[in-house]
Amino acid sequence: MMTISTRPAVFFDRDGVLNRDVGFLFEASKFEWMDGAREAVRLVNEAGYFAFVVTNQSGVARGFYEESDVQALHRWMADELDAVGAHIDAFEYCPDHPEAPIARYRRDTDRRKPGPGMITDLMKRFPVAADRSFLIGDQERDLEAARAAGIRALLFRDGNLATFVREALKLG
């Protein structure tokens, strides 16, 4: 019998953690990396952890932009990270909102944080060691999602993300 080896993961919230939260961001031209964000992802990669992004994107449900815009921004982020030798293993986003003006996105789903769905979906798709994994978020709903998924939750407010991650990895 073959055993699949698991490894820990860092789940990054996007807006307010990897980049400045400017509200309903979908254009690369308005994207501003947080200090140390790209280095933080590289540190996670070098430590042998999976690096994931889990982000609510209700701007889709509100009609501000399309899912293709979210995907294009994530491809741009991946290229930017690649340029510094870093990578995200998977980007997950939830376009839904329970009060969405666009009917097909008007739903209450456990994939929308504070629900744990994006995290648990990733843990089903990848061999994640949940007991050694953690989420970095800037809002209470991020931390609630992590706790509901059974992983450690860390609050990042500001400062240098690489410094924050370096400390968090020592705890891991």
Confidence class for position 172, pLDDT limits 50, 70, 90: low
How many residues belong to the chain? Answer: 172
Nearest to 53, CA basis, from 16, 85, 23: 16
CB 129: neighbour CB atoms within 10 A? 16
Question: What average pLDDT does this structure show over 142-146?
Answer: 98
Average pLDDT of the residues of the chain: 96
Asked if 9 and 133 count as a contact pair (C-beta separation under 8 A), the reply is yes
Active site residue 13: yes
Which residue has tokens 């501003």? 32
Largest CA distance in the chain: 51
Q: What is the DSSP letter of 103?
A: G
Kindly report, residue by residue over 1-56, the tens digit of the pLDDT: 666 789 999 999 999 999 999 999 999 999 999 999 999 999 999 999 999 999 99
- Cβ neighbours of residue 163 closer than 8 Å, sequence gap 6 or more: 36
Q: Rg of the chain's alpha carbons, rounded to an integer?
A: 15
What are the domain boundaries of the chain?
17-48+57-133+144-156+163-171
CB 28: neighbour CB atoms within 10 A? 13
**CATH no., domain 17-48+57-133+144-156+163-171:** 3.40.50.1000
Select the more confidently predicted residue: 4 or 61: 61
- d(Cα 36, Cα 64) in Å, to the nearest integer? 29
Active site residue 96: no
